Structure 1
Amino acid sequence: MTPRTPIWKAIAASIRHDIAEGIYGAGDKLPTEAALAQRFGVNRHTVRHAIAALAEESLVHSRRGAGVFVATTPTDYPIGRRVRFHQNLRAAGRSPAKKVLLLETRTASASEAEALQLPYGAQVHVYEGLSLAEGRPIALFRSAFPATRCTGILEHLGNNPSVTEALAKCGVHDYTRASTRVNAKLATATQALHLQIAEHAPILRTIGVNIEPDGTPIEVGRTWFAGDKVTLTLSDT
C-alpha cells in the first residue's frame, strides 16, 4: 500500500504551485489561516504546519499583526554622489513609480533651514510621496527645496513626480549628494499603512542633502525604506 501524503504537505504543495503559477506574486498577502482552513477542509493547526514548511523554504514570511506574505527579493538601492530614484530602480531591474502625497509651501523647520543654509523664517517647497517598485510601495519620502531658488517646482512635480526633471525645469541641471545619514527605526501606524507592513516593523531612515555644482544646498530629504524590501548599498558614483 502506498503511504498517504500528510495533508499539511499536500496543502504546502498546493500553495507552492499557486506561487509558481503567479496566483500569489512576490509581496502578495496569502489568505488568512481561517480562509485556507476552509479552502482545504482542515483545521488551522494543519494550515499553520504547511505555512511553516513554506517559510523554511523562504517562500513566505509572516509579519506580526499583518499576515503571511510571499517573499520578495529586496531591491538593491545604491547611495552615492548621484542618487536618482528612477535610475536606481531600473538598474536593479525593477519598474519605478512615484505617488504624490503632499505638495505645499511652508516655513522651513529648524533642521531644514540648517541643512539648506536658509535664514530663520525662510520658506521651503515640500514634496511628500511614496516610492514604488513594480507597483508596490518600498519607501516614503519628504523633500524640502528652498522656495526662492526653486520657484514653480511644486507645479512641475504635480505634472511629473521626478525630482530630477522638476529641478531641471527650475534651472538646476545637475546636483550631487553631499551627505547621507542612515539609522534604523520602527514603523509608525501611518508609515506601516503606506508601506503595507506591520506597525513597529523595522524601517531604515536616510537623511540626505543634495547640492548644486557650486556647493549650494538645493534639497534636503528624508526617506523611510521598508526594511525587508530594500537593501541600501554604498556607491562611489
Structure 2
Amino acid sequence: MTTKDLLWKEIYNSIKREIVLNKYKINKKLDSEGDYAKQFNVNRHTIRRAFKELKNDNLIYSKRGLGVFVKSSKISYSISKNVRFTENILEENKSARIEIKSFDIAECNLFEKKELDLKKNEKVTRINSIGYINNSPSVITFRSIPHKRFPKFINHFVKKQSVTKTFNLLNVKKIIRSKTLINAEISDKIKSNFLNIDVGKPLIKTTSINVDFNKKPIELSESYFDGSKIQILVKV
C-alpha cells in the first residue's frame, strides 16, 4: 500500500468515525475540500478520494456549488417472530446497548390485563429503558412483565441488559413475537429529552406482545424509535 493510499484512508476513517458517532447532524454541511486539505496537510485530490469512498458508503452526498453534506443513513430494524434488539442492531454492523432508566412493581392496568392475559389487580414489573445504537439514544421502550410468573425478572435484566438472555435464565428458551402494531407519533418534551431530538420530531411507535412456546403472553412492550435514524422492516 502506497503512502498516498494510507493518507486518504486515514482521512476517510477519521471523517467516517465522526459521522457514525453522530458528531454531525443529518444534512449538516461538512468542511470544504480546502479546509480538510489544510487540516490534514494534504492536497485536495487526497480529500476528494476520501469523499468518494464516503459517498460509496452512502454516508455523504454533494450539492453542485454548495458542498458536501451528511446523508441520512437509517438503520433497518427488523420485526419478525424472533425478538432480539441487540442482535438486530449488530446485523447492521452497529453497536447496541440498553440503559435502564426506571422500574417498579405495580398492579396491572386494563391494557396490561388484557394484553398479558392477567387477573384483575395482578402485578406487573414495569421497566423503562433507552436503547443506544453506536452510543446514540435511538429508542425508548416501556415494558410490562407478569410479576407473579417472573418475580426475579428485573434482577436478571439489570445484570444481563438483554430481554432474551433474561428470559433464557428464567427457563423461557424461545420468545415469539405474537403481534406488533406500528404507528407514527410526534415527540413530546420528555421523549425528546431522552432521545436528544427536537420536540415535534416524528417517532415510530411499536406496540408488541411476546409469548412463550405455549403462546402464553410474557411481555408487553411499547417502543418509540427516532424516525430520523431508524426504519422498520417487517419480515413475513
Off by >6 Å, runs of 4+ in structure 1 = 17-20
Aligned equivalents of 2:222, 2:109: Cα separation in 1: 13
Identity over the aligned pairs, expressed in percent?
Answer: 18
C-alpha change, 1:58 and 1:149, in structure 2 (3 Å) is: farther
Query: What's the CA shift string for 1:176-227, capped at 9, x where partnerless?
Result: 0000000000001010111111101000100000011111000000000000
Q: TM-score, normalised by structure 2?
A: 0.74
The Cα of 1:143 is off from its aligned counterpart by: 0.9
1:8 corresponds in structure 2 to none
Question: Which secondary structure does the structure 1 equivalent of 2:19 belong to?
Answer: coil
Deviations 1:99-154 (CA, angstroms, capped at 9, x unpaired): 11112111112111110000111100111100011111110001111011112011
Contact 2:76 2:232 survives alignment (8 Å)? yes
**SS where residue 225 of structure 2 aligns?**
strand
Could you list the runs of 5+ residues in structure 2 that have no partner in the other structure?
1-10, 26-30, 36-61
Name the residue aligned to 2:90. 90
Residues 80 and 18 (structure 1 numbering): CA distance in 2 closer, same or farther, change over 3 Å?
closer
Answer whether contact 1:79 1:234 (CA < 8 A) is retained.
yes
Superposition pairs of residues 71-220 of structure 1, within 5 angstroms: 71-220=71-220
Deviation at 1:28, TM superposition (A): 2.2
1:28 paired with 2:30, answer no
**Aligned amino acid, residue 191 of structure 1:** K
Q: Secondary structure at the match of 2:149?
A: coil
Contact 2:125 2:147 in 1 (8 A): yes
Q: Which ranges of structure 1 fall in alignment gaps of 5 or more residues?
A: 1-16, 31-35, 41-51, 61-70
| TM-score between the two structures when normalised by the length of structure 1 | 0.73
- Check the 8 A contact 1:187/1:201 in 2, yes or no: yes
Q: How many residues align?
A: 191
Could you say which residue in structure 2 is the equivalent of 1:59?
69
Q: RMSD across aligned C-alpha pairs, in angstroms? A: 2.6
Query: SS state of the match for residue 88, structure 1?
Result: helix
